[in-house]
Amino acid sequence: MARKRAEHGGVLTMEYPEAPGQAASIASQALARMEQMGVAPHPRNYTIWYSYFLDHYPDLRRRMDTLLSEGTSFTETVGEELYNRYFTAQEETDGIASTGLKLEVTLEQMRTLFSSAHAGTEAYNRTLESFSGEVQGAEPQHAERLIATVLDETQRMLATNRALGEELARSSDEVRKLREDLDRVRLEALTDGLTGIANRRVFDATIRDLTHRAARDDLNGLSLLMVDIDHFKRFNDTFGHQMGDQVLRLVARLLQQGVDAESIATRYGGEEFAVLMPNIRVRDAVATAETIRRQVASKRVTNRRTNQDLGCITLSIGVSEYVIGEAIGQFIQRADEALYMAKGEGRNRVVSQMELELRRAGAVP
């Protein structure tokens, strides 16, 4: 199951609940590989390699396997890029800042063009005013020279305006493209690259917003589904990362299709998903979760390249409902504990906070 990640000021801090023996084994593997490859054992690099050997971060694992197969040297630059991509929000922030700066520069260039056009128009107006004053009562020969001067000035003005018009058209196209790029970068910053659904950042922002709304009585209930793909690591190890990616995309699609328009399905991390369900009470959320669980279990996974039937996948789902005034962490923890209970009772099932409460009260074994 995916490790939990909390975002603080753009940095995702990891929690590693492995048992001491398991953690020591993973640490030993990570440090040995780092020494073998000449990677400095400072905290940033250690985080990357520990997470690699933990193998609960398929996106990171896939990228590092590619780099290893290509014989890439794990320099400080490579380490920094991996850390920024998988453990901080820096990559998306830099993309938005870069595009925004380009847009700002282009708009400044357009303002300069408008200023030039304005200055040219004022100069032309002064020429016309001067001509108007001098032409009255002027001798024919002098009047001809004045008219020639005005015609030359008019031609220059037309040429200048034509050039400015072309430049403004190019700048307008550039602004349009940059705005599209900015929208795309912002969307990418909120979207999980593999599954195409909302990412953990969206979850963190949305749960804050929805709990605030619930506290103001703007919602008629707020429920949370924590969803985990059963035996995903074994499936990945057996059939490969490409098939694992196919499973992640399938689950993401079925989650989106299985909830109403107000609900938000997100990839929480690894093979774990979270669904926020505003205006839905816990009993209705359980019913929705059960429908999703059955639908996923009814699908058979097929290797599209070989047509090999890889069997079925199943989900374990924990469900909680927000209690006004509680910390967001408590809300998530109840759903997570219900998910662990579903795992402990054999997987492929939905467990709600009501069952957790009964278990704690001793009403169920």
Q: Which CA distances in Å does 115 have to 110, 112, 147, 156, 173?
A: 9, 5, 28, 17, 19
What's the rounded Cα separation, in Å, for the pair 228 and 358?
Answer: 23
- Enumerate the active-site residues: 271
> Phi first, then psi: what are they for 137, rounded to 5°?
75, 10
Q: Which CA distances in Å does 348 have to 112, 284, 297?
A: 64, 19, 8
CA 6 to chain CA centroid, nearest Å: 15
SS3 57: coil
Structure-token pair, residue 36: 């073998």
**What is the DSSP annotation of 194-225?**
TT-SB-HHHHHHHHHHHHHHHHTT-SS-EEEE
What's the rounded Cα separation, in Å, for the pair 160 and 154?
Answer: 10
